[in-house]
Structures are given as structure tokens and as C-alpha cells.
Structure 1
Amino acid sequence: MNPTRFAAGHAAHADWRVALARALDALLLDLRAAGGHDHAGRDGLPEYTLGFCYLSDRFAADADEIVAELQRRLPGVHWVGTVGIGVAATGAEHFDEPALALMLAPLPRRAFRVFSGVQPLRADAEDFHPHTALVHADGRTPDLQELLPELAERTASGYLFGGLTASRGRSVQIADGVFDGGGLSGVAFSAEVGVVSRVTQGCQPIGPRRLVSRARDNFVITLDGRGALDCVMEDLGLPPDMALEPVAEALSNTLVGLHPGADAELVAPAAFGADMLVRNIIGLDPRAGVVAIGDEVEQGAWLIFCRRDPAAALADLRRVAREIRDELVDSDRVALGAVYVSCSGRGGPHFGRPAAELELIRDVLGDVALAGFFAGGEIAHSRLYGYTGVLTVFAAPR
């Protein structure tokens, strides 16, 4: 007997009631196509137990009512999710408009645990052993960069996937309830739930890799023994006597890729691997020749200046989607559903047409049920990324 796949639905409308009704109709239609009559597991069919709910920030103020209606319509389902600048679905996106995306999963209740500040994830629970976790986090949470590795250590694999809430208003997380601002929440999975996940980068290097020879906090002082500002101007092809204003303008469109110096291998300058962390340049001191970036940087790390590149981003997304597809084929598994978390900077007009990423994923993986959101930062492994996408597929043996 083939495993039962996930079911998904999405809709956009100015009125959350209309959008939710349409999304639920699509969800239940997809559920029946997946082989179920309802979520309750009647007629010997699998029980749909876990729900994913992603809202665009236009619906953030209505999150309590939306979740209450979902719980009323689908009793017994545990719900997780958050808010983004847009939401993602199978072959579609709704960016910067009132919309929501839903997905239901027929997982054994013993195979997952919803967690939040109210119900923390425990590594030592007798009846559940977390293997990996989907995480939603508020970017304003103090010490977030330390909390993610700490949470990853509570899982057997050390692998997290997810993203940061992105909202121009209320910041909301959903974890068997609605929570405002702060902390981490999500759902952990046991080893019984098969997961294949990849990070896709969205930038193109514009210069050689450079060694951080001197740094303090988030200030890059020297690279390869030279002033950091001299190096970035050289990589950008700017004359050394250029006025400050055009230099600042050029740097505002330039990003920094960081790679730990302790790693033996470093990606080639023409491509970024999953270990590359992309950060913004946030300031410069022309007198001292120092460049400030949006994260702490350690002496001995590798650094590459880069720019966002839509063509490179789509090519890399196709690569990781094919890797996931090939891994499923090689292990004789089938995709049941997927979560895609993309940087909010990659949505809408970035690729020149709507839903470019989601159409590509569907082209490679087929009509797999998918839900996700456009985030303020992406989570993979135990790290916080930027300008990336995190594609995670739930899989089971054929």
C-alpha cells in the first residue's frame, strides 16, 4: 500500500473569512484526491494530525480568529505556522497581498511534538525522541544566534529547518495557539518521519575569496593583510579616490559571504555552498578603512563580496531540487509533502515573474503538496541564513 501524501490548499482575498473558506475547500478537495474522506481517519484511512498554517502579514491581526476557525473545522489537528511577507504553495505564491497557505499531514501522533515557550522541546522525554525540527522564530529574540544551536542539540540529527517571522505589523507564531513576538516555536519530528532538506543560495561572488586577517565584533579591519575597504573597492572595480557618497551607494548593494575558517574545504569562488552565510554591509569608516557587516566575524574566517543574482538563484534552486529528487529515487522513497521557506527579498518581482521559485520546484518534484512563507531570515542546520531558500521534503518508502 502506497503511503498517504499530504494535502494542501491556498487562497488570497481581502477578507480572511473568504480566503480561509476557499483555502479549506481546496485543502479538503486535495485531501480526498490523496485518498482520504476527512481528517479523522475514518473508513480505515490515515488520520490527518498535523497542520501547517502560513499567513501573509496582511492577516497577522486576524491570526487568532483564523486559528480558532481551523480548530473548529478540523478538531484534533495540531497547528503550527507563522507570518511572512508572502506565502508559498504548490506552484504558486501570494506576495505582499492578503493570503494564506494550509497543509495537512497524516503523521502518527507519536512521531511529532509541537513546541513553544509554553511547551518547550525536551531532549530527555521518555515517550518522544526528537530527530529534527521545523522552527519558526522572531528575529527580535535576544541571543537568537545562540538559541538555535541550543535547540539543535536537543535533536538527534542536529538539523533544524524553518525561518524568521516577517511582518510589517504584528509578529505571530502558531503552535497549538497563537503567540505574539519573541522566542521560538515549531514542531519536532522523530526519526520515524523521513525528511530530506537542502539550502539554496541566491548570490553570485564578485571577487576572490579573502582571509579575514583582523576583525573585532562585526567590524572587518583587514583582509589578506590589507584594509578591508581597499579590498571591497578593488573587487567592485571602484577607483581608490572615489568620493564617499558613491562608495557608500555601491556598498549598499553589496553583500558579504562568510565561511568558517576552521573548515578544510571552501566552495569555489563561482558558487556558494550551504555553509556560506550571507550578510549585509551596514557601514564603513573611510579613514580607518574598516567595513561593518550585519553579523560578528572572526579572524581566520573566509570572506567573499557578492551580489544578489536572480539567474544564479534559480539555477541553484534547480540543483538542490534535483538533488532531493535523486536522493528519493536512490533510496526508493516518495515525496509526501514539502515546506519551502524563502527570503522575502526573493519574492514578488525579484525573478521578473511571480512564483518563479515555486513553479521550478513543481517542475522538478511534481505536484507535491507544499506550504511555506517568505521570511525575514532562513533557518537550516543550526544557523540563521539570509537571501536563501530552505526546501524540505517529507518522504516515506514506496
Structure 2
Amino acid sequence: MARFGDALTTGADLVNAAERAVMGALEQLGGAAPGDGRGGAGGAVDLVCFFVSGADPDEVTLAGRRVMELVPGAVALGCSSTGVIGGGRGVEGQGAVSVWCARLPGVELTPFQLDTVLEEDHLAVVGMREPGPLDRVAILLANPYEFPTQAFVRESTPALGGLPLVGGMADGLRGEESVRLFCDGDVVDSGAIGVLVGGEGVLGTVVSQGCRPIGPNMTVTKAEGNLLLELAGTNAYEKLEGLLDSLGEEDRELAAQGLHVGIAIDEYAEKHEQGDFLIRALAGVDPDMGALAVGDMVEVGQTVRFQVRDAGTADEDLARRLADFGAEHEVGAGLLFSCNGRGGALFPQADHDVLAVRRILGVDAVAGFFAAGEIGPVGGVNHVHGFTACLLAFAD
């Protein structure tokens, strides 16, 4: 009997779509009943993850509540989005509900809700459970308008003892006012939610940033915060100008559409090639200062390399990473958090990422959403990404 099921339904009536999606996912588990909500229920449903896209925030709320009502006792985690993934499809910009459910015997599930409180001169995040010795990963869904996701994720690796975080930033078709988070029967519009997953059911993560390097590797010789001031002893802006002048027409066009900076993951590696960098956006330039603004902190001594992204590169990077992962693991299902800048905005069709996962890993139950920022580990450190596909894989 299957241990995982997923279904995606569309329609203007989101509550009806939610009901059909839940029933469709449960049918793949033989009509399994909800479990005890904390794993180990054998033939029951233990974890339900769901994602709702719709124009009316109130309808999104009702749909999310309906999903949770239909799976009482199971740990239920979900959010609003501008597009959902499931059933081998990606649907963007319209009413749709995706539901993924799992029977996870021997797996411990601990839901949590995060919020912020003011402590003297700074905000502190409260509500995070301390990981136990068996915890393998935490799924995290956050409201990017109300929660300091970047700061929390940046500090999470040392604070949580290296526990991987995987997930994404929620959104809605009306922006900030339409974000909804669903956790264990509750509906919230701020903070973040998640679940700690412990036991042997989690295989690991695949993070595809989908960029390829251009130009040479360069050492940062002067920097302040997120500003690159000198690369290899030369004015950083002049280095960029020289690189752009040397590019062929195709790469110059890609750079014009959006140039990125790769920060080497392992400074001690003999080589730094494609896939060896943490990708960050080139956020701005200041010719007068000779500075380049990067979407992250940079330090003197780090190795960086400019990067470009296109559909072909993103496709190849995802396929290679999935193939490498599949060669080592027998995957039964996955949760997929794909950037809302991928899908139909990057590829010929919105289904690209989910179809690649299903085809290369040979799995059917893959669901998730198009996120406003993706969360996943690179080089053993948790990061918030952009234009990235992050997969959490479960054992067969």
C-alpha cells in the first residue's frame, strides 16, 4: 500500500477544490484515515502539507480550514501562494489547491509556530522547539512581509545544531494582505510555521540554484558589509565592466537580464566550478564608489565569480543534482519549493521542475508551491534563496 499521495485541483470554488484535493490524495493511500498526528500511526495519515492559491484571501482561508478539518489528528501544515505544485503539474495565478499526505511509521512530527517579540533594542524569535537527537529536518513556511526570515535562517544553522531547514516564503495573489499560514488547525497571517521531522524517513535535500559561472574566479580584497569594493586588487566596478566587455553576445544579453554573484561554498576546494557557489543577486552598482552591492554579506578573502541564469542552465543543473541524489537514494516522495521566478517565467511551462523530479527520481507524490523565496541548505548551512528549486526527499 502506498505511503504517500498527492493531488492538485483547480476551480473558482476553493473550498470545493480543497475537498477534492484531500480526497484525491487520500485515495492514493487506500482511503487512509487520519493518524494520531505525531507519526508512528501505521496505516493512518500522519503528515499533510497543502498549498492554496486564490484571488480572495477569505476564500483561501476557508479552503485551508477545510483541508485541516478533513484530516483531524494528522499534523497539517500549509500556506497561501501565487501558484501550487502537485499531481505532476504546476499551476500559477489562478484558484488551485495542492495536497500532499504521508503515512510515516516510526517518524516523529513536532509542529511549531514562530513569532517575534521586542527585546530591548532588537527583535527575538520565539516558539522554536529545540531539536531532539532523532530530528532530521525542519520544514519551514514563513510570511516574508512579517517575519525576519533572512536573519532567522542565517542564524539557524549554529543555533539548531546544524539541523537543515527546508521550505519557502508564502505569498498571495494580493501580496501582503493575502498571506495565510496554516498549522495544526490554526490560521495565522504573520510569523512562521513549521514541523520538526525525526526518524529514518527523511533522505535529505536537493537544492538547485540553476546558474553557471562566467569570467574568472576572483578573491575579494576589499569589502564592507554587502558591498564589494575590490576584486583581485582592482576596483570592483571596473572588474565588472571589463568582464561585460569580454562576453559574447548571448552571455551579455543574459547578464543584462540579471547578473548574479557566486560566493564559494568551500574556500579550500582546489577548484570552484558550476555548483560550487552560493548564488546571490547583484543588487546594484555605484560607479563613483567603484562598488557592487550583493544580496548577502561578503568578506575579504572569499572567492567570488559572476554568474548568469537561463532556462537551459537551470534545467541542466536541476537534472544533474537530481540524478546524483537518485544514484544514492531510493526516493518515495518529495516536497518541492520552487521560486515564483521559475515556472512559466523561466521555462516554456510551469510544470518543469515537478516533471523533472518525477521523471529523474521515479516518484509520483511530489507537491509544493511557487515561493517568494526558497529555504534550503547549501554546503551544510541554511540559506534563503531566489530562483531556486529546493526538494525535501522522503524514503520509499
SS at match of 1:311: helix
Choose from 165, 185, 189 the match for 1:180: 189
Aligned to 1:391: 391
Choose from 221, 226, 250 the match for 1:218: 226
Choose from 252, 264, 267 the match for 2:268: 264
| Contact in 1 for aligned 2:84/2:369 (Cα 8 Å) | yes
Aligned to 1:8: 6
Task: Kindly state the Cα deviation for residue 40 of structure 1 after the two structures are TM-superposed.
Answer: 5.2
| Contact in 2 for aligned 1:58/1:99 (Cα 8 Å) | no
Aligned to 2:128: 121
Aligned to 1:343: 339
In structure 1, what is the Cα distance between the partners aligned to 2:11 and 2:364? 24
Aligned to 1:94: 91
Aligned to 2:118: none
Aligned residue runs from structure 1 range 321-360, under 5 A: 321-328=322-329, 334-360=330-356
Aligned residue runs from structure 1 range 84-233, under 5 A: 84-108=81-105, 111-117=108-114, 120-123=127-130, 129-140=134-145, 143-153=148-158, 155=160, 158-167=163-172, 168-169=175-176, 170-176=178-184, 177-182=186-191, 184-233=192-241
Aligned residue runs from structure 1 range 286-297, under 5 A: 286-297=287-298
Using structure 2 for the length normalisation, give the TM-score.
0.84
Task: Kindly state the Cα deviation for residue 87 of structure 1 after the two structures are TM-superposed.
Answer: 1.1
Aligned to 2:122: none
Are 1:362 and 2:363 an aligned pair? Answer: no
Choose from 21, 24, 27 the match for 1:23: 21
Call closer, same or farther: CA 1:341–1:287 in 2, change over 3 Å: same
Call closer, same or farther: CA 1:144–1:193 in 2, change over 3 Å: same
Call closer, same or farther: CA 1:292–1:74 in 2, change over 3 Å: same
SS at match of 2:144: coil
In structure 1, what is the Cα distance between the partners aligned to 2:106 and 2:193? 18
**Residue-by-residue CA offset, 1:262-289 (whole Å, 9 max, x unaligned):** 63117544x123xx22222222221221
SS at match of 1:53: strand
How many residues were matched structurally?
370
More off after superposition, 225-234 vs 80-89: 80-89
Choose from 6, 31, 38 the match for 2:33: 38
SS at match of 2:196: strand
Aligned to 2:50: 53
**Residue-by-residue CA offset, 1:111-170 (whole Å, 9 max, x unaligned):** 110111278332277xx8533111112334565334225444565652121122233242
In structure 1, what is the Cα distance between the partners aligned to 2:169 and 2:246? 35
Call closer, same or farther: CA 1:156–1:369 in 2, change over 3 Å: farther
| Contact in 1 for aligned 2:131/2:196 (Cα 8 Å) | no
| Contact in 1 for aligned 2:54/2:60 (Cα 8 Å) | no
**Residue-by-residue CA offset, 1:216-248 (whole Å, 9 max, x unaligned):** 112111111111111111111279xxxxxxx9x
| Contact in 2 for aligned 1:31/1:38 (Cα 8 Å) | no
SS at match of 2:306: strand
| Contact in 1 for aligned 2:44/2:103 (Cα 8 Å) | yes
**Residue-by-residue CA offset, 1:311-364 (whole Å, 9 max, x unaligned):** 111111111221222112xxxxx4332101111111114112231221121111
SS at match of 2:100: strand
Name structure 2 gaps, 5 residues minimum: 116-125
In structure 2, what is the Cα distance between the partners aligned to 1:56 and 1:146? 27
Using structure 1 for the length normalisation, give the TM-score.
0.83
In structure 1, what is the Cα distance between the partners aligned to 2:140 and 2:215? 34
Aligned to 1:318: 319
Aligned to 2:304: 303
SS at match of 1:237: helix
Task: Kindly state the Cα deviation for residue 370 of structure 1 after the two structures are TM-superposed.
Answer: 1.2
Aligned to 2:279: 278
Alpha-carbon RMSD across the aligned residues, in angstroms, is 2.9
Structure 1 stretches of 4+ with a deviation exceeding 6 A read none
Call closer, same or farther: CA 1:67–1:390 in 2, change over 3 Å: same
| Contact in 2 for aligned 1:133/1:155 (Cα 8 Å) | no
Aligned to 1:244: none
SS at match of 1:345: coil
**Residue-by-residue CA offset, 1:57-83 (whole Å, 9 max, x unaligned):** 636443431232123222212211223
In structure 2, what is the Cα distance between the partners aligned to 1:69 and 1:15? 12
| Contact in 2 for aligned 1:130/1:156 (Cα 8 Å) | no
| Contact in 1 for aligned 2:311/2:346 (Cα 8 Å) | yes
Instruction: Give 1:205's aligned amino acid.
Output: P
